[in-house]
Amino acid sequence: MGDALDIMQVAGEGAAALVTEMVKSTWESVRDSVARFFRRGGEESAEQELRLVDTAQQRLVGSAESERASVEEELRGQLMIQLAAFLQKHPNAAQELRNLADQVQAADEGSGVRTSVHGNTNSQVVIAGGAINASGGFHYRTPEEGR
C-alpha cells in the first residue's frame, strides 16, 4: 500500500508541475523533459502519452480566463491518473518525475521580480506584486510639501 500512495503522491506532484508550466513560455523545454520521461516506456508509448499531454496543454491555453481555474483542476486530475498509470508500469521512472517536479518548483521560486532603483532624487518608487488600483489617481508630494 505504501508504494501505491507514493506513486499517487509523485503523480500528483508531477501533474501539478505540468499544469503550472503549460501556460508559460518555458513549456517547450518542460515538454522535452516530459518526452524523455515517457520514452522510458518505449517510443510508441511516449508518442501516445505526449499526445494526451499536448491535448491537455492546448485545452488549457485555449480556455477562457474565467474558466482557467476549473480547467487547471480538471487537467491536474487527468494528468495525475495518466502519470500514476505510467509509474505503475515503470516504477523506476518515479525519481525522474519527482526531479522534474522539483525543477519546475525551483524555477517558480526563483522567478520573482527583482527591482533595483538608483538615483531617484525627488521621486517616489512604487513596486507592486500585482495590480494597483486607485480611484482618483495617485498624487505624489515631496516630504517638504506634505508638511
40 within domain boundaries = yes
Q: What's the pLDDT score for residue 113?
A: 47
- Whether residue 45 is contained in a domain is answered as yes
> Does any domain span residue 100?
yes
* Domains contained in the chain, number: 1
Q: Is 69 within a domain?
A: yes
pLDDT at 135 (0 to 100): 56
Using DSSP's 3-state secondary structure scheme, residue 122 falls into coil
Average pLDDT, the chain: 82
Give the lowest-confidence range in 80-84, 96-100, 104-108, 114-118: 114-118
| Predicted model pTM | 0.70
Taking alpha carbons only, the member of 17, 22, 81, 99 closest to residue 54 is 22
pLDDT value at residue 114: 45
* Cβ-contact 91, 3 below 8 angstroms: yes
The verdict on residue 92 lying in a domain is yes
Q: Is there a domain that residue 125 lies in? A: no
CA distance 60 to 95: 26
- Percent residues over pLDDT 90 in the chain: 64
Range of the domain at 10: 2-109
98 within some domain:
yes
Predicted confidence at residue 20, as pLDDT, reads: 93
In a domain, 132, yes or no: no
